[in-house]
């Protein structure tokens, strides 16, 4: 277990994803912030998932994952969509096709 799990909302599965993406400790995660960290998760082959993104945002704020509501959640959705779009723009054509059929970016 790394110290990533000392951050509220980060359990064993999320910890594994973060470590696999190159984020090995809580200090690194906090330094990166949620947007850069989530971009690294996407680059490592994790499928985009809005709940995962806002859970990360809430975690870094020390808030319960389900505390995100209303206008705040809508604003985070816009950020998430931009992160997802940026990932897609950086993929080659074959990567987009393989991802569309569910193979992910890491094979």
> Looking at residue 91, what is its pLDDT?
53
Question: Of 54, 21, 49, which is closest to residue 37 (Cα–Cα)?
Answer: 21
Question: Of 106, 73, 28, which is closest to residue 15 (Cα–Cα)?
Answer: 28
How far apart are the C-alpha atoms of 11 and 5, rounded to whole Å?
A: 6
Calculate the CA dihedral of residues 80, 1, 9, 90 and round it to 10 degrees: 0
pLDDT along the chain (107 residues), means of 10: 88 95 96 96 92 95 93 95 78 60 58
The second-level CATH assignment, the architecture, of 3-100 is Orthogonal Bundle (1.10)
């Amino acid at each position: 277990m790394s110290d990533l799990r000392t951050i509220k909302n980060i359990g064993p599965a999320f910890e594994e994803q973060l470590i696999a993406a190159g984020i090995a400790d809580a200090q690194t995660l906090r330094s990166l912030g949620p947007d850069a960290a989530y971009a690294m998760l996407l680059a490592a082959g994790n499928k985009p998932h809005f709940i995962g993104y806002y859970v990360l945002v809430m975690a870094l704020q020390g808030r319960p994952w389900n505390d995100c509501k209303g206008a705040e959640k809508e604003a985070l959705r816009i950020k998430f969509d931009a992160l997802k779009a940026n990932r897609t723009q950086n993929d080659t054509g074959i990567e987009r096709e393989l991802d569309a059929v569910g193979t992910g970016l890491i094979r």
